[in-house]
Structure formats: structure tokens, C-alpha cells
Amino acid sequence: MTPARTRVKFCGITREQDLDAAVAAGADALGFVLWPGSQRCIDDARLAELGARTPAFVARVGLFVDQDADEVTRASRHLDLLQFHGDETPQYCAGFERPWIKALRMRDGLDLHAAAKAYHGAKALLLDAYRPGVPGGTGETFDWSRIPANLAKPVILAGGLTPDNVAEAIAAVRPFAVDVSGGIEATRGCKDPVRLASFAAAVRGIDNAGR
């Protein structure tokens, strides 16, 4: 199924003004980093505030990396979708009363067809660049030609996307959605409203050109 348009997730939202700018730009989803190892991490109180501010029809996505189930369960009441960005098993991912997506880092030899089968309960696979020792958010791209066109799961393309390369990425991969964090930031955790709007415009531009 070819989607009519490319969905956009803006990840690493920490501030009200960034949330509002993302919604104004047409965000389909907002990502909140709940992994304490990230400089973009927000605590439960902040998640509650930002989650309450998010309007209807914009999905609130919580990003976790190999965390205690209790932490995921606690945060879940403010979230619509869970994003597991570590080495979580399919069984673990399915253990919460929320739909979920699995992030996979594109290390050498990764078999995406096998991963799609293993994570069959996932709503989508989010594909990110691989850097040893770093779970994600590296701001690096990977070789998009490694993504098979006939993967059994919707693809959310991530990793080093920017307003300048996102159109090329969409043309190459034709993903269900794109996900960006560092490429629209002024400083870590603080989005640049101009870059954010440019990113959304670039996605709309390639979609209107017929992907």
C-alpha cells in the first residue's frame, strides 16, 4: 500500500514552543525521549504537561531504551504509542497496553525481513543509523538502498534527516513516515522553528510532486 502522503514525526520535544511549532507545521506525531541517558530526556511531570498540550489527532510517542517495565507503564498514560529504541525483545514490547513501534539500528548484516517477522506485533519499524555504543539520535544517515521495498512492515525512516536531504530520502525509500530530531535543532533538545517548518515543507513538496 502506497500512502497518499508521508507522515512526519518530530522527536525530542522538550518545550512548549517547539510542540506548538511542530503542530503548526502539520506534525502527525511528537516524540518525547524518556530515556535518562539522553540530553533530550524529559521527566514524568514534563511529559504530563506536554502530553496534555498535544491536540487531538497528533500522536504522542514515548521513546525508551531498554528500560524497566515500570517506567514504561508509568509514562504510558500520557502516550498514544511506544517507541522501543534498544534491544527490547518482541515479548517485552508487547507487554504494555499501547501500540508500539520498534527502532532498529542499521548495523552490518541486519536482516530486515527477519526483523519484520520477529517484531510482527509492531505497528511499524523505525530504521536509524548504527553507531556502536550509541542507541540512537546520532544525527547520522545510513545507506538507504539497504531498505527493501517489499518489507512486511511500514517503514519510519530516521537517522540524520534534515530539511536539505529529506526529499531525497523520501524519493529513495518511499517510507510510510519520516522521523527527525537533531536535523531541526538549534541546540540539543531545542528545536529551531525555521528548520522545523522547512522540514515539513520539504516533505509536502516531494509528496505533492508525486513522491
Catalytic residue flag (residue 11):
yes
Three-state DSSP at 134 gives: strand
Nearest to 97 by CA among 64, 124, 73, 132: 73
Distance of closest approach, residue 38 Cβ to ligand LGQLAAA5, in angstroms: 3
Catalytic residue flag (residue 128):
yes
CB burial of residue 44 (10 Å; 0-12, 13-18, 19+): middle
Which is closer to ligand LGQLAAA5, CB of 85 or CB of 102? 85
Distance of closest approach, residue 83 Cβ to ligand LGQLAAA5, in angstroms: 7
Dihedral angle, C-alpha 171, 139, 61, 101, nearest 10 ° = 60
Residue entry with cell 514525526: 9
Distance of closest approach, residue 180 Cβ to ligand LGQLAAA5, in angstroms: 5
Q: What angle do CA 147, 12, 143 make, to 5 degrees?
A: 20
Burial state string for 141-155 with b = 16 or more CB within 10 A and e = fewer than 16: bbebeebeeebebbb
Which is closer to ligand LGQLAAA5, CB of 11 or CB of 203? 11
Which is closer to ligand LGQLAAA5, CB of 147 or CB of 210? 147
Distance of closest approach, residue 210 Cβ to ligand LGQLAAA5, in angstroms: 25
What's 150's DSSP letter?
A: T
Which is the catalytic residue, given 11, 18, 93, 179?
11
Which is the catalytic residue, given 18, 128, 179, 192?
128
Q: Write out the residues near ligand LGQLAAA5 by the rule CB under 6 A.
A: 11-12, 31, 33, 35, 38, 40, 63, 65, 85, 126, 128, 135-139, 158-161, 179-183
Say how far apart CA 146 and CA 167 lie, in whole Å: 18
Which is closer to ligand LGQLAAA5, CB of 61 or CB of 209? 61
Which is closer to ligand LGQLAAA5, CB of 135 or CB of 210? 135
Distance of closest approach, residue 196 Cβ to ligand LGQLAAA5, in angstroms: 12
| 77 contacts 46 by C-beta, under 8 angstroms | no
| 173 contacts 155 by C-beta, under 8 angstroms | yes
Catalytic residue IDs: 11, 128
